[in-house]
Amino acid sequence: MKKGDQGHLLVVDDNEMNRDMLSRRLKREGFTVVVAEDGHQALQLLKQHKFDLIVLDIMMPGLSGFDMLPMIRSEYTLAELPVIMATAKDGSADIVEALRLGANDYVTKPINFPVLVARVRIHLQLKQLSQLKDEFLRIASHDLKNPLSTILMSAHLVRDRVPPGFMMTEQFYNMLSFIVRRGEEMQRIVRDFLDFQAMEDGKIALELALINLNDVARDVVQSNSEYAESKHIILYTELDETLPQIRADGVRLAQVAQNLLGNAIKFSPNGSITYIRTNNHEGAVMLEICDAGPGLTEDDIQKAFTKYSRLSNKPTGGESSSGLGLAICKQMIDLHSGKIGVYNNPEQGATFWFSIPLGSSS
Ligand code: ADP
């Protein structure tokens, strides 16, 4: 569905007056509508366009709604393409048959328009939920597969080559570090999914305390030093030591800083420098992470903080990505009444930043 578009509907009815009236009124509700005057035309249109939902008349000469339903269901599931049948008022046998053949719902004729619109909306919402679930499963299985197979491979190697009592060599130590790193990556993906779900359900509450953003910056640099070293990336801190304290949730801000710094390392080339800066600017404290990676296109900058945004940049060390990290960061910063953003550096790379107003979140 395009932005601002309520949904792309196909209305199939052999009666011209019904067809036009339905089409006009649905368009007024913000839907885009294509009409078909019989089943054959509808099947043709289905091949040419992608529809979100069909309003289908049962009684039509030639191909009836009953004939069409099995054809539609052989191509699309109930969740992919919902069908609302228009049936006669006293046609309970027809209703049962239509639902058996694959209709999602029905309205009786003469059509009560507000009821039809309410049902169309509910089925479009269910369709969206189903898409979200599919997306979730796709990402979860794809992103967890890679780290899991490297974890298992390294674990097998270590177990097979290090008998009990054997000294730990540097090679095995490196393998164990690899297992830990990939395991932590998987943990982060799972945590991202759970956090995101909790935020969608409005279940994240901040635990506010007086904190210093410099402490957050130092912690996150410390915990990423090994990861940065593995890609020969230098983490260079420039902290404003006069930074005032803020009332904020230190754990959540650390999570945001972790995501931004993790991304900077993830998308930067080996041997580059990433700067971590703090400053006190216009009544807010700010953390900036400035990398020497590929930067972002204008289009990607627009989409960066929306969920599941798989943008053009790919990790430089085979790491996985869920496309949820920045969306979570935005929500965490919104909860603090702060701001978050990104811009491209004049020379190279991107700077991701967030700021928390002084005296907010009290
Ligand atoms: P993930 O990193 O898990 O894919 P994010 O929401 O954190 O999810 O990031 C979304 C996308 O934004 C990334 O896939 C990447 O294309 C882009 N991106 C994020 N940070 C950077 C960065 N520092 N440099 C370049 N691209 C980035």
Q: For the purposes of burial, counting CB atoms within 10 Å of the CB of 299, is it exposed (0-12), middle (13-18) or buried (19 or more)?
A: exposed
Q: Which of 23, 13, 81 is nearest to 52 (CA)?
A: 81
pLDDT tens, the chain, 362 aa long: 544 578 999 999 999 999 999 999 999 999 999 999 999 999 999 999 999 999 999 989 999 999 999 999 999 999 999 999 998 777 789 999 999 999 999 999 999 999 999 999 999 999 988 888 777 777 777 677 777 888 888 888 888 888 888 888 888 888 888 888 888 878 877 887 778 777 777 777 888 999 999 999 999 999 899 899 999 999 999 999 999 999 999 989 999 999 999 999 999 999 999 999 999 988 999 999 999 999 999 988 988 898 766 667 777 776 666 677 898 899 899 999 999 999 999 999 999 999 999 975 44
How many angstroms does the Cα of residue 295 sit away from the middle of ligand 1?
A: 10
How many angstroms does the Cα of residue 267 sit away from the middle of ligand 1?
A: 7
Question: From the CB of 354, is ligand 1 less than 6 Å away?
Answer: no
Sign for the CA dihedral angle at 312, 318, 319, 320 comes to positive
Question: From the CB of 262, is ligand 1 less than 6 Å away?
Answer: no
Total residue count of the chain as it appears in this document: 362
Outline where the chain has alpha helix (H).
16-28, 39-48, 65-75, 92-101, 113-161, 170-200, 213-230, 250-267, 298-303, 325-335
Sign for the CA dihedral angle at 208, 214, 217, 223 comes to negative
**What pLDDT does 318 receive?**
66
**What pLDDT does 118 receive?**
96
- Report the C-alpha gap between 300 and 303 in whole angstroms: 5
Question: From the CB of 267, is ligand 1 less than 6 Å away?
Answer: yes
Q: Which of 265, 271, 284 is nearest to 352 (CA)?
A: 265
**What pLDDT does 311 receive?**
67
DSSP-assigned states of every residue in 122-140: HHHHHHHHHHHHHHHHHHH
Dig out the tokens for 118 from the structure. 């309410």
- Report the C-alpha gap between 282 and 357 in whole angstroms: 9
Question: From the CB of 357, is ligand 1 less than 6 Å away?
Answer: no
- Prior bond of 164 cis (ω within 30°): no
**What pLDDT does 359 receive?**
77
Outline where 268-317 has alpha helix (H).
298-303
SS3 call for 160 = helix
Question: From the CB of 120, is ligand 1 less than 6 Å away?
Answer: no
Name the DSSP class of 243: P
- Report the C-alpha gap between 264 and 221 in whole angstroms: 12
Choose which residue among 275, 313, 330, 345 to substitute to test ligand 1 binding: the one with the highest number of ligand atoms within 8 A of its C-beta: 313
